[in-house]
Amino acid sequence: MALPVVAEKWSNSVKELTIGATQAEGGTREKTVTVGGAKCVPFIECDGETGNRPAIAMDVLDYVPNDWPDILRKPIEDVIDEPAKWAKKCVDEFGADLICLKLDSIHPDKGDKSPEEAADTVKSVLEAVNVPLIIWGCELNDKDNQVMPKVSEAAKGEKCLMGYAAQDNYKVITAVCLADGHSIITQAPLDINIGKQVNILVSELGFPLDRIVMFQSTGALGYGIEYTYSIQERERLAALSGDNLMAFPVISNVGFEAWRAKEAKAKDEDVAQWGAQEDRGPMWETITATTLIQSGVDIVRMYHPKAVAAVKKYIDELTS
């Protein structure tokens, strides 16, 4: 005899957030991306509405990465020094839902480009693609505080997702996102209390709660993914149980972390017993992404098109 299905009842839901603005909404995007909205734990449809499907954002750097293995550079080697063309290839050929433009070149050690140069790069990428844009600073507070206001102004009206606001550096980016109509990423280490505190700090400046995405440090497969999963899961359970200051969509930096792992970047001749890197590297990124999607991550930042294709298929199967 089949046992009855016992549905879990939740008192809250994850807030929905739409990234990007069409022409009718004051922007130039042909499509927008909506994330969040879950009223139950990921993909357990018998418990309630699972919300919008997870979205894949492919990273585009404005600085040619010199530490990427050849297998990672090869798919974009013809456009790797042109962010606009790189972004277009990610959308047209690899199927990215969003583009995450990482402004590495503004870092003093990677070119120290000016706010005006960064703004020009943002404009060129917006012109090249029709999908929404995530704009990520160089993660050096002083430089990001100089650059992000100019970048935000250049993308005004496009309802981008801007990153990030941290506990020790949140006022400038919160103010510019508030002024220019963008959504914001709040960042914290893998600590639930700090994550919530950053959300409180941002909201106390008058930032709307329905325009926040949470980001906490990502651990790749074999490098802390169990702890990352546990924290993300606990945050999602807190959100569904009624904690309104944790009930936000979540973004995870999978590509960067997965390709730092020696199992992904080691050359074939150094680890012949591990199998070919052309399969091994994308597989490491794929498993990292699919694991974190199960924990409740709504936006996954990714690198390799083979991994992107595998994760998109996985999401299709879970949401069909």
> pLDDT, tens digit, for every residue of 149-182?
999 999 999 999 999 999 999 999 999 999 999 9
Q: What is the pLDDT of residue 103?
A: 98
| C-beta neighbour count of 65 within 10 angstroms | 16
Strands 17-19 and 33-35: antiparallel
State the pLDDT at residue 215: 97
Burial of 20 (0-12, 13-18, 19+ CB in 10 A): buried
Residue 308 near residue 58, CB atoms below 8 Å:
yes
Report the half-sphere exposure of 289 (CA within 13 A, side-chain side): 34
Say how far apart CA 203 and CA 232 lie, in whole Å.
21
pLDDT(4) > 70? no
- pTM of the full predicted structure? 0.96
Distances (CA, A) of 82 to 62, 132, 208, 260, 293: 7, 19, 35, 23, 30
Structural domains of the chain in order of their starting residue, each with its CATH number: 17-319 (3.20.20.20)
Per-residue pLDDT, 27 = 97
The per-residue pLDDT for 3 is: 60
pLDDT class of 2 with cuts at 50, 70, 90: low
